[in-house]
C-alpha cells in the first residue's frame, strides 16, 4: 500500500499533531509519510499575528501543496484553519477534541483573580486580550506575545510577564500540563473556534484518501466545530476578531408508547427514539473588551438522520447564533473591529 503523504508545519506542536495522526492511521493499517512545510506564520516569529496581514498564515502553503498533489493529506490545528471554503479541498475528518479551555500560567499567582491592577499578562490571541480586559475592567496590562510554546514560557520564566494565557490542549500535548495553574471557564471565557480540535483536510475528489481517513472522524466534535465555524463565517470575522464559541453535542432517549388501537397492543413494546441536542455558546467583544454580545443556541434532532442532514443542522445553528448576535447590535461592532484590524495590519495605509 502506498503511504499517505501527510503535510504539516515543522513546529513542535504541529509535529505532535502530525505524529498523532500518523499513529492513528497506521493503527488502522494505513502507512504514512510526514512532509514538513514551512508557512508564513513559521517564518515570521516576531510580528504579532494581526500584523502578518492575512488569514491562513499557518495553512496556505500546506493547502497549496495539497491542491498541487505534493501531499495527500493535511493536518491543521482547527483554530488556525480559515473558514472560507477552497475549491478542490474538503475538511474530511475531525478527531475527538482535546481540552478546549484556555489555561492560566504564572510563577507568582495561583489564579486569574489574584492578579493585581497593573499585572502584565501575555497572550497571542486578540480574543483572550478582549476577555482579559473585560474581566479586569482594563486594570491589567495585556500584551501580545509570539513564538512557540517553549519560547513563550521562557519569556514568562525570565520575568517579562506576571502571567500568561495559553491553550491547555497545546500545553498538554507538549508535556507542559503541570504548568497550568487553573482553567478559564465558561461563560466568561469561551475558546477560539475549533480550539483543541484537529482538522484533517484532503482533496475533494480523492476518494481513496477520504476513505482511509474516515475512521478517525468523531461525530460529536465534527458537528460542534461545524456550528462554530459557521458562526465565524457568518460574522465574517476571521480568526483575528475577538470571537469565542463552543459547540457541544449531547444525547438522550425518548420513549413513545404504542398506539392503543394497534392490533398487537397487548404485546407491543414502547418505541425508543434516540435524540441529539447541539448547543452553541457564542460571544463577540470589542478589542478593548468594553463592549460584548453573547448568546446560546440549541437544536434537537433525530440521531438517525443522515450525516449530511446533521451537518446542515450544525451549520444552520451557527448561522442562527451569528444572526442573533448581529440583531443584538454586533453588526456595528464587527464593522469597527474589521476596520481597526485592517489598520493595524497596514491594509488601509495610503498609497503613494
The pTM of this model reads 0.87
Instruction: Give the Å distances, CA to CA, from 154 to 119, 163, 175.
Output: 18, 12, 15
Please state which CATH number belongs to domain 4-95+197-217. 3.40.190.10
The list of the chain residues with pLDDT below 70 reads 39-58, 237-240, 256-269, 341, 344-352
210, 237, 233: which is closest to 127 by C-alpha?
Answer: 237
Per the document, the length of the chain is 352
The predicted pLDDT at position 53 comes to 41
The string of pLDDT tens digits covering residues 54-107 is 455 567 899 999 999 999 999 999 998 989 889 999 999 999 999 999 999 999
Query: What Cα–Cα distance (Å) separates residue 295 from each residue in 149, 184, 190, 237, 322?
Result: 32, 18, 12, 17, 9
Active-site residue set: 80
Distance CA 169, CA 101 (A): 8
Residue 229, class by beta-carbon neighbours within 10 Å (0-12 exposed, 13-18 middle, 19+ buried)?
Answer: buried
- 4-95+197-217 against 102-184: fold identical: yes
Taking every pair of Cα atoms in the chain, the longest distance, rounded to a whole number of angstroms, is 87
The pLDDT score that the predictor gives to residue 352 is: 36
The one-character DSSP state at 199 is: E
The edge-to-edge listing of strands for the beta sheet with 163-167 is: 141-144, 120-123, 163-167, 102-105, 182-184
| Closest C-alpha to 67, from 54, 85, 80, 50 | 85
Counting residues of the chain whose pLDDT is more than 90, the rounded percentage is 74
Spacing of C-alpha 347 from chain mean position: 25
Per CATH, domain 102-184 is 1.10.3720.10: no
The confidence score (pLDDT) of residue 220 equals 97
Count CB atoms within 10 A of the CB of residue 159.
Answer: 10
- Where does residue 126 rank: exposed (0-12), middle (13-18), buried (19+ CB within 10 A)? buried
Task: Please state which CATH number belongs to domain 220-260+268-344.
Answer: 3.30.160.40
Closest CA to 13 of 153, 124, 169, 165: 169
Can you give the residue ranges of every domain in the chain? Answer: 4-95+197-217, 102-184, 220-260+268-344
* Confidence (pLDDT) at 140: 97
pLDDT at residue 46 in the model? 46
Amino acid at each position: 500500500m502506498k503511504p499517505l503523504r501527510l503535510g504539516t508545519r515543522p513546529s513542535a506542536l504541529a509535529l505532535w499533531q502530525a505524529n498523532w495522526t500518523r499513529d492513528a492511521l497506521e493503527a488502522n493499517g494505513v502507512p504514512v509519510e510526514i512532509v514538513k512545510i514551512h508557512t508564513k506564520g513559521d517564518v515570521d516569529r516576531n510580528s504579532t499575528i494581526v500584523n502578518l496581514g492575512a488569514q491562513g498564515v499557518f495553512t496556505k502553503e500546506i493547502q497549496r501543496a495539497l491542491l498541487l498533489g505534493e501531499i495527500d493529506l493535511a493536518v491543521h490545528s482547527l483554530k488556525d484553519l480559515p473558514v472560507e471554503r477552497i475549491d478542490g479541498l474538503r475538511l474530511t475528518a475531525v478527531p475527538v477534541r482535546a481540552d478546549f479551555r484556555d489555561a492560566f500560567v504564572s510563577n507568582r499567582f495561583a489564579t486569574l483573580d489574584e492578579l493585581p491592577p497593573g499585572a502584565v499578562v501575555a497572550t497571542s490571541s486578540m480574543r483572550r486580550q478582549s476577555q482579559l480586559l473585560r474581566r479586569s475592567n482594563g486594570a491589567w496590562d495585556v500584551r501580545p506575545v509570539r513564538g512557540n510554546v517553549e519560547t513563550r514560557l521562557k519569556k514568562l520564566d525570565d520575568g517579562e510577564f506576571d502571567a500568561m494565557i495559553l491553550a491547555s490542549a497545546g500545553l498538554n500535548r507538549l508535556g507542559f500540563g503541570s504548568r497550568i495553574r487553573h482553567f478559564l471557564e465558561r461563560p466568561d471565557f469561551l475558546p477560539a473556534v475549533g480550539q483543541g480540535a484537529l482538522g484533517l483536510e484532503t482533496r475533494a475528489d480523492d476518494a481513496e484518501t477520504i476513505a482511509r481517513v474516515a475512521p478517525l472522524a468523531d461525530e460529536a466534535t465534527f458537528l460542534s466545530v461545524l456550528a462554530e465555524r459557521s458562526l465565524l463565517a457568518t460574522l465574517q470575522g476571521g480568526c483575528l476578531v475577538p470571537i469565542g464559541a463552543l459547540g457541544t453535542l449531547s444525547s438522550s432517549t425518548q420513549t413513545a408508547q404504542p398506539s392503543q388501537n394497534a392490533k398487537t397492543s397487548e404485546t407491543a413494546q414502547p418505541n425508543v427514539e434516540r435524540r441529539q441536542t447541539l448547543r452553541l455558546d457564542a460571544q463577540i467583544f470589542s478589542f478593548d473588551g468594553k463592549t460584548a454580545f453573547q448568546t446560546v443556541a440549541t437544536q434537537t434532532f433525530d440521531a438517525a438522520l443522515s450525516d449530511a442532514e446533521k451537518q446542515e443542522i450544525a451549520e444552520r445553528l451557527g448561522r442562527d447564533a451569528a444572526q442573533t448576535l448581529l440583531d443584538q447590535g454586533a453588526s456595528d461592532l464587527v464593522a469597527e473591529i474589521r476596520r481597526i484590524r485592517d489598520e493595524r495590519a497596514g491594509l488601509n495605509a495610503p498609497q503613494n
